[in-house]
Structure formats: structure tokens, C-alpha cells
A and B are shown apart, each in its own frame.
Chain A
Amino acid sequence: MGILVVAEHDNATLKGATLNTIAAAKAIGGDIDVLVAGQGCQAAADAAAKAEGVSKVILIDDAAYAQQLGEQMGDLVAELGKGYSHILAAATTTGKDFLPRTAALLDVNMISEIVKVESADTFARPIYAGNAIATVQSSDAIKVITVRATGFDPVAAEGGSASIENGSAVADKGISSFVGEELAKSDRPELTAADIIISGGRGMQNGDNFEMLYKLADKIGAGVGASRAAVDAGFVPNDMQVGQTGKIVAPNLYVAVGISGAIQHLAGMKDSKVIVAINKDEEAPIFQVADYGLVADLFEAIPELDSKL
């Protein structure tokens, strides 16, 4: 048997979430194969072969997987996954898109966003926006699972020497196509990989005021996030949203600026090691989870913080 991990990558690079997913596979136990399906994705496959604990990398370099559309990926992983006891993917918007298709094609249920492996068939996962943790045992022949990266420390990116094998594509049904993409271009660290995150909320008042946070973030090498309220108000784009329906993050330091602390936001950041809240409303719920709270007007506190770091 063995475990198939579907790599998260953008053809050029292997994404960090893959290393957390491999860590979950190690906790289950067994040989770990990593599938890298894309177009011009040799570099991502090379990186996967170096990751700790990988036995074999299956490389499928084919135009059909250039954008990893859910229909094609779902079919491919169902075909390749038949010989495995577990199929794992990161709980990213890519993994969440295709893996349920794979599960249905294999006629099994799926276990979403696990944060802990209890045994080879039993896993813990948050439910009700993280207000409860369910432990679920699966009797399915193949366990199909997405892994929440913050639940598992990544395996080492270097040191492994897995073989790379070429695999073949499955037929494309031609029912979906890639039209276009608007990706955020930023030199700042990605939220899911950043050591420090500064997030702004409704208290920022407008998009221009986020410049203060960008400036501070660049000084200390931080990523910049936002609450749902700030995204809904159009201050910043959706890819910056931290929370239950946005990104789930767990940096060493999370600085919440002008964020009240709705439960859906807390669900996305409460596993951060140190939380700082800056808010002028001392009753804001964010202070109940913050290690350090500063009751202050952010328009005075942020420039001052910037000048003192």
C-alpha cells in the first residue's frame, strides 16, 4: 500500500504546504510517494525528491495539468490513487477543489482539513469554524484527506534523495478550461509561510491606509493580511483574508491592527505563537486572545511602532 501525497506547486516551485502534508503522511506511517502533476514542472519534482521522507516522486508533465484544473486533477489522482491506502493533499484552494472529486470517483468519503493524526484511520479536524475539534474514524478502503498546514510542522526541504518516475496523463474530457488569472504580485512573504503577519481590519478605514502596514511589514520582513470586514469593504483583495473562509495562519507573531476579533477571524489565526492586538476599543474581543494588547488609536500607534523598530 503506501501513501500518495499530491504536491502543491506552481510548476516552478514546490509550495511549503507540501512539506506539512508530507509530515502528516509520516505521522500516518508507510511509504510516501509524491505526485507532481503540471506543465514544465521538473523543478518542482526535483524539490519534492529532496524533501525528507519521500520514497518516490511521480512526475506528470503534460499541458492538461498546466493550471491543475479540478476536473483533470480529480480524474488523474483517482486513477493513480487506486493502489494506495491514503491520498493526501494540502487544504489549499487547489487541494479543496480537486480532492473531493477524487474521493467520489473512488466511491469513498473524504476527511477535510485534518490537524492531527491519531492513527492510520483516525484523525482530528476542526468543525463549526474551529469552535469544536472532532475526532473521526474512517472505515473507507482508501482514506482521502486534506491536511491543514498549521497542524503539522513541515518536514525538512533538503536531505532526501527520492527517485523521480514519469507517469502518464489520463484523458481530458474537455469540459473545463482556464480563462485567466489575477494573481497578487508581492515581494512580501506569503501569509501561510510568513514568520510575522500584520493584519488590518475595518479600523484601517480605507485601502490607502494599508500603506502604513506595508511599510512596517517591509521593515520587519512580515506578510500583510486582513480581516473579512476589510476585504468586504474593498480595502484590499481577497487573497489577503485571514480567517475561517480565508487563509488559516500560525506565524510566530501576529499583529492585529484595528481588528475587532470576530469568531471567524479568530478561527484563522488563533494558533499563532504570539498575538498582539492594537485597537482603540478596549472591549474588542480580539483582546481576549491577545498576548499583548495595546488600547490606542492605530493611526498614532503604527507610525510610532514603525519609528521604534
Chain B
Amino acid sequence: MKVLVAVKRVIDYNVKVRVKADNSDVDLTNVKMAMNPFCEIAVEEAVRLKEKGVATEIVVVSIGPKVAQEQIRTALALGADRGILIETDEKLESLSVAKALKAVVEKEQPQLVILGKQSIDNDNNQTGQMLGALTGMPQGTFASEVAVDGDKVNVTREIDGGLRTVGLTLPAIVTTDLRLNEPRYASLPNIMKAKRKPLEVVSPADLGVEIKSTQTLVKVEPPAQRSAGIKVGSVDELVEKLKTEAKVL
């Protein structure tokens, strides 16, 4: 079966985020960008499905500026077969992204669509579920295990109270949580090979999708800082402080 994986270019997770002095946004000038970590897990899961003989082709799609080709190449180096970039410099909100992905789903007809549960920039956790609603597909969100069985897939989900398994009729959506797998690193020969894999660039208009924004970023501020308190010398002193000073025991 064909698997579609959506990936996003975001700030590298090791970079310390700084808010711009005019509070208009986060400062992304000259910072290192990378594939969203949850998307790496999505790519890895697709590659493992292919290695198990469940998936036959992995198509990786991203939406964003021209440079997002880098993240698609990374996915190709990890084992995806071909890429699609929906190129746009417009500001993207989840609904527009889901509509663009829906157009790709209609064209490619994958049996499984795997996405990260959220991106580490906006932390929205929306796109996979929105794509599910728009395409009428069921969803296994926050997945820690994915088991394809014929025309069904069982997805074990990490929920607040523990784990829950749902059975979904294919085609279906899966969004990845942290413990689904541990992504591999791309080897140098595979990075070289990825350069020759097909990467198609389309515009939202080519897909018949209009990118619309309904949210205005009014301001972005650093969070309230907590300052370090005091070091206590012993357990006795700690208990004393908690009882008489903080009054929480």
C-alpha cells in the first residue's frame, strides 16, 4: 500500500528560542532549521512499514517555502521514495495546510497518512485531525504503536489515563507520539541517493487550494521568568522551610 507522510520545516529543537525586541514574533533570523521531530518519527514509521513489506511506496509531502525541499530531501534520505513540495511563502494556518494535504490525498490515494502529532514551533496539534475530518478518514492520534492488518489498522494511543487502542478502517490517519519509534540517521550513501529521487514542486493554486489566514498574531512575549530560589543545606532545613516559609506542608 501507499503511505503518505507529511513533514514540516521548523526551528531545530536544540536552538534556544528568542522573542524579537518589538514583540512581533519569535526571531528566526539565521537560526538552524530542521525537520520537526514528530515528523521524523512519522517518516521512520513509514520506512519501517516498507521494510516489513506492508508499505510499497512512501510519498513525502511538505508545504512551505522553497527551502523546505531540504526537509523533503532528508525524508528521501531516510527511505521515502519521492517528494512533493507545495511551495508557498504565505503564512500558513492549520486549516489551509489540511486543505492542501487533502488535495494531495485525493490525487495520490494513499491507504495511510502519517503525520507528527504537533510541530514544535506553534504546538497546535491540529493538522492530522483536520485532514481526517476533511477527507472523512478515521484517525489514530498520539500513536505509540501502529499495526496494519488487512484493510484495518490498530493504533495504540497515548492518552491521559494510559493507553487506548482503536481499530480504524483504511484509509486512515495516524499522528505520531514520542514513543512510537526511534528515528534512524541517514547514511551518507543514502543522502547522495536521495538527491536523485523525484521531488515535484507544485503551487497551492495547482492543487486548487486557496491559502487563507483567519488569525492575526497580535504580539509574542517571553514567558514570565521564574528566578532561582535558595539552596538548603539539609533535609531538616527543607522541611522547616516548606512548613513555615512556603506553608505548603
Contacts and interface: CB of A to CB of B under 8 A. Distances in A.
Interface of A: 67, 69-71, 74, 78, 92-94, 96-105, 107-113, 118, 122, 126-140, 173-184, 192, 196, 220, 228, 231-232, 237-239, 244-245, 247, 252-253, 270, 273-276, 282, 287-296, 301, 304-305, 308-309
Interface string B212-242: 0011111111110010111110111011011
Interface string B147-181: 00000001001111111111111001000011100
Contacts of B95: 103-104, 107-110
A115 B232 CA distance: 33
A253 B238 CA distance: 13
Interface of B: 11, 16-17, 19, 26, 93-95, 98, 120-134, 136-139, 141-142, 144, 154, 157-169, 172, 177-179, 214-223, 226, 228-232, 234-236, 238-239, 241-242, 246, 248-249
Contacts of A293: 228-232
B166 A309 contact: no
B235 A93 contact: no
A174 B152 CA distance: 12
A103 B131 CA distance: 11
Contact of B167 (A74, A78, A128, A177): A177
A104 B97 CA distance: 11
A109 B246 contact: no
9 contacts: A94-B159, A97-B139, A137-B216, A192-B160, A238-B144, A253-B242, A274-B242, A292-B232, A292-B238
B229 to A, nearest CB: 4
A294 B229 CA distance: 11
Contacts of A96: 125, 129, 141-142
Contacts of B168: 175-176
A287 B139 contact: no
Contacts of A139: 214-216
B26 A127 contact: yes
A101 B132 contact: yes
A175 B138 CA distance: 6
A17 B207 CA distance: 41
A287 B239 CA distance: 17
Given A138-B215, A180-B164, A308-B236, 8 more contacts: A96-B129, A100-B130, A112-B125, A132-B17, A177-B167, A220-B249, A291-B229, A305-B239
B126 A113 contact: no
Contacts of A305: 235, 238-239
Contacts of A137: 215-216, 218
Given A276-B242, A293-B232, A104 B133 contact: yes
Contacts of B19: 132
Nearest to B231: A293
Contacts of B130: 100-101, 103-104, 110
Nearest to A175: B138
A108 B166 CA distance: 27
Contacts of A129: 120, 123
Q: Which of B26, B93, B139, B144 has the most CB of A within 10 A?
A: B139
B162 A113 contact: no
A110 B162 contact: no
Contacts of A67: 164
B163 A238 contact: yes
Most chain A CB within a 10 A radius of its CB, from B130, B131, B234, B235: B235
Contact of B178 (A118, A173, A232, A274): A232
B151 to A, nearest CB: 11
Contacts of A273: 248
Given A132-B19, A270-B226, A110 B214 contact: no
Nearest to B26: A132
A133 B223 contact: yes
Nearest to B212: A109
Contacts of B235: 294, 296, 301, 304-305, 308
